[in-house]
Amino acid sequence: MYVANEDSISSSDDVKLKTRFQGQVLVLYAKIPLRMETFLSSLREACKQAYNQPITVKWIDEEGDPCTISSQRELDEAIRLLHANGEAELNVHVFLGIPPLPGLPCHGEDKAVYRRGARRWKKFYHVNGHRFQAKRLNRRVQCFFCNDYIWGLGRQGYRCADCRLCVHKKCHRAVRQPCGDQQNLVDHYAGNTSKKDSKWTVSLNDFNLLTVIGRGSYAKVIQAEHKKTGAIYAIKIIKKQMFSDDEDIDWVQTEKSVFETASNHPFLVGLHSCFQTDSRLFFVIEFVPGGDLMFHMQRQRKLPEDHAKFYSAEIIIALHFLHSRGIIYRDLKLDNVLIDAEGHIKLTDYGMCKENIGPGDVTSTFCGTPNYIAPEILRGEDYGFSVDWWALGVLMYEMMAGRSPFDVVGMVGDVEQNTEDYLFQIILEKQIRIPRSLSVKAAAILKGFLNKDPSERLGCNLNIDEALEEMKNHAFFRTSIDWELLEGRQVTPPYNPSVSSDRDLQHFDTTFTDEAPNLTPDDP
CA distance 473 to 478: 5
CA distance 309 to 449: 14
- Which active-site residues does the annotation give? 331
Q: Degrees (nearest 5) of the Cα angle 402, 407, 411? A: 165
- Per-residue H/E/C for 423-488: HHHHHHHCCCCCCCCCCHHHHHHHHHHCCCCCCCCCCCCCCHHHHHHHHHCCHHHHCCCCHHHHHC
Contact 306, 480 (CB under 8 A): yes
SS3 8: coil
CA distance 414 to 438: 33
What one-character-per-residue DSSP string does 43-95 give? Answer: HHHHTT--TT--EEEEEE-TTS-EEE--SHHHHHHHHHHHHHTT-S-EEEEEE
The response to whether 240 counts as a known ligand-binding position is yes
Give, for 523, the enclosing helix (H) or strand (E): none
Contact 165, 144 (CB under 8 A): yes
The answer for residues whose C-beta is within 8 angstroms of residue 429's C-beta and 6 or more apart is 412
SS3 361: coil
CA distance 230 to 309: 36
Could you give the strand order of the β-sheet that contains 157-160, starting from the edge strand earlier in sequence? 66-68, 55-60, 90-96, 14-21, 24-31, 122-127, 130-135, 157-160, 166-168
Amino acid type, 56: T
Q: Degrees (nearest 5) of the Cα angle 158, 79, 359? A: 60
CA distance 474 to 168: 42
CA distance 123 to 132: 8
Contact 210, 222 (CB under 8 A): yes
Contact 274, 207 (CB under 8 A): no
493 DSSP β-pair partners: none
Binding residues: 240
Binding-site residues for ATP: 240
